[in-house]
Amino acid sequence: MQIDIIAGTRPNLVKVAPLISAINRNSREDLLHYRFVYTGQHYDKKLSTCFFHDLNIPEPDINLDVGSGSHAVQTAQIMIGYEAALSKSKPDLSIVVGDVNSTLACALAARKCNVEVAHIEAGIRSGDLSMPEETNRIATDSISNWFYTTGEIANRNLIKSGTNSNQIVTVGNIMIDSLIGKIDEFVQPDCWAPLGLTDRSFFLLTLHRPENVDSPKTLHRLLSAIDKNVDGKPVLFPVHPRTRPILNALDLNLNNIQLFEPFRYLEFMHLVSQSCAVITDSGGLSEETTFLKTPCITLRSSTERPETVDLGTNILVGNDTSELAIHLKHAANGNWKQSKVPPLWDGNTAQRIVEHLTEHCTISTKLDRSA
Ligand code: UD1
């Protein structure tokens, strides 16, 4: 079976890395062959090359090099680029991950070329259609053939939207495969010693959602509230390139928040594992903190990953700065809810996907022979 594995952004890379290595491990059976397609939606070294390196991801077989653009431009350019790749050589299956523009664009291009699509992280829903990712999730799931899900909540969402249960495969959380695979290689970033950081002595902040960073007023309000309520602890803020220009234009007088370039995966995960809390608007990060038992304060009012709230360490505060202040104080004092790691977040998700693919292509081969 010939497979295309698609990635386009930093979080996509964390999800495809374990799949690529699981296929390579199983390659002796010679059933699965892959071509790795990178769309280039993220192109900054700190968001792409560094992640390829830390996660041992091979050079892409095809790089579409699309870069940034409005949603329509970016999605269209990825579709054009991937359709051209498909017209030269068509796989049996395209595997897309997550919910970014690259996910939807490649799923659409593949289906229109009559290539089957498998979606990893299918079925998750925030219910908030103002987020571009929610549109990408719904649209991708509406045209996929195979749905690899993190758990029962995603399965229920898919069934509710009319998906046939035979096409749903519960595999667990593939991001956690990367985390477990690399946990012994986490490294202190260069700023660790100069800042005198020790375990649980600092906060870690990430912000990149349009609703939090695109308006200078909102960004100013959130950063001022964080800076004021962290009990004098340092707050390490690696700044996403989307956030940087808005931040540069702000007149901020910060005492505790310190700005950084984005960290490499192995450094960033070290900080996540050792911080007294992560403050973020990322969904993936709320899963990583749940696994690592690090308190997580999410600056969103909805989540497509409710298990991180119900079982995990995540608390949603929306953009309510008084709620934020309360939870920052709790975290600074080491006072947080008990949590559990959801089922199947065990580092074996990619292997389960490979087993399903192998089984699927064995059945297809038998059918071909008997035809
Ligand atoms: C994208 C995903 C988001 C994901 C995030 C992870 C969509 C709709 N959004 O958001 O779901 O959580 O990635 O980081 O797909 N930029 C650079 N260099 C880069 C990439 C982006 O400078 O390498 C800047 C550009 O100004 C660009 C802006 O960031 O216009 C936004 O980039 P884009 O890829 O459109 O979305 P993200 O905000 O990164």
- Residues with Cβ within 8 Å of 252's Cβ and at least 6 positions away in sequence, in order, are 220, 223, 224
Helix (H) or strand (E) holding 148: strand 146-149
C-alpha 285: how far from chain center: 8
- pTM of the complete model: 0.96
Ligand 1, residue 132: give the atom nearest the CA.
8
Instruction: Show which residues are catalytic.
Output: 208
Name the residue with tokens 């103002």: 130
pLDDT at residue 368 in the model: 52
Cα 169 from Cα 197, distance rounded (Å): 43
Q: Exposed, middle or buried, 202 (CB in 10 Å: 0-12/13-18/19+)? A: buried
Between the CA of 242 and the centroid of ligand 1 the distance, in Å, is 6
Tell me how far the alpha carbon of residue 219 is from its chain's centroid. Answer: 22
* Amino acid 304: pLDDT: 98
> What is the CA(65)–ligand 1 centre distance, in A?
14
Q: Are 288 and 271 in contact (CB under 8 A)?
A: no
Q: Tell me the sheet residues that pair with 257.
A: 235
The answer to whether residues 29 and 61 touch, using CB atoms and an 8 Å cutoff, is: no
Mutate to test the pocket of ligand 1, among 68, 78, 207 (most ligand atoms within 8 A of CB): 68
C-alpha span between 215 and 108 (Å, rounded)? 32
Q: Answer whether 41 contacts ligand 1 (Cβ < 6 A).
A: yes
State residue 359's pLDDT score.
86
pLDDT of 236:
98
For ligand 1, whether the C-beta of 35 sits within 6 Å is no
Q: Is 133 in the pocket of ligand 1 (CB under 6 A)?
A: yes
Contact 211, 132 (CB under 8 A): no
- The Cα angle at residue 40 between residues 99 and 239, in degrees rounded to 5: 75
Q: Ligand 1 pocket test: which of 71, 134, 208 has the largest number of ligand atoms within 8 Å of its C-beta?
A: 208
CB of 68 sitting under 6 A from ligand 1? yes
CA atoms of 276 and 295, how far apart (whole Å)? 7
Per-run averaged pLDDT (10 residues), the chain, 371 residues: 97 98 83 96 97 98 98 98 98 98 98 98 97 98 98 98 97 98 98 96 97 96 98 97 95 95 98 98 98 98 98 97 98 97 98 92 54 51
CA-to-CA separations, 345 to 17, 161, 178, 288, 358, in angstroms, rounded:
16, 25, 11, 10, 22
CA 152–ligand 1 middle distance (angstroms): 29
Structure tokens, 18: 């374990």
Return the pLDDT at 31: 87
What is the distance between the alpha carbons of residues 106 and 75, in angstroms, rounded to a whole number?
Answer: 9
